[in-house]
């Protein structure tokens, strides 16, 4: 999936590891990602978390998309930092799933994301 994901790759997101129900990805914060307050724009943090969620929820095989998601921003990140997102499957039931993604810069928590997935392809 990552190889065909132009949005993630063009944003500088790198898939570090993926397995059944989990994934880890990173993204370096560049000057183009910083808002008028000198911190990373929340949309970029959401993009990293959402992409990592997608890698985890698609790990089971059938095409799976987001049914919804929300994010809580905990701390700001700045240019030059590298963010790491770790997605973990919390539940899978029928065609639906729930995934949590934590975004860190080093040991510092930046955001917590919860995604709800829905299988739209054939189930295996």
Task: Tell me the pLDDT tens digit for each residue of 44-77.
Answer: 999 999 999 999 999 999 999 999 999 999 999 9
Report helix, strand or coil for 64.
strand
pLDDT digits over 22-48, tens only? 999 999 999 999 999 999 999 999 999
pLDDT at residue 122, as a whole number: 66
Say which DSSP state 34 is in. Answer: B
What is the enclosing helix (H) or strand (E) of 101?
strand 96-105
Mean pLDDT of the chain: 95
Q: Is the pLDDT of residue 78 over 80?
A: yes
Nearest to 92 by CA among 123, 47, 49: 123
Pairing of strands 14-19, 82-93: unpaired
Q: What are phi and psi of 96, to 5 degrees?
A: -115, 160
Could you tell me the pLDDT band of residue 1, with boundaries at 50, 70 and 90?
confident
């Amino acid at each position: 999936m990552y190889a065909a994901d132009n949005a993630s790759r063009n944003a500088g997101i790198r898939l570090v590891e993926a397995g059944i129900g989990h994934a880890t990805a990173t993204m370096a914060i560049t000057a183009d990602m910083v808002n008028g307050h000198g911190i990373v724009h929340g949309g970029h943090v959401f993009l990293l978390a959402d992409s990592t969620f997608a890698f985890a929820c698609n790990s089971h095989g059938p095409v799976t998309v987001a049914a919804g998601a929300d994010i809580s921003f905990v701390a700001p990140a700045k240019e030059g930092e590298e963010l790491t997102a770790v997605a973990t499957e919390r539940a899978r039931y029928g065609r639906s799933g729930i995934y949590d993604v934590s975004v860190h810069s080093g040991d510092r928590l930046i955001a917590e994301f919860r995604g709800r997935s829905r299988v739209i392809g054939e189930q295996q």
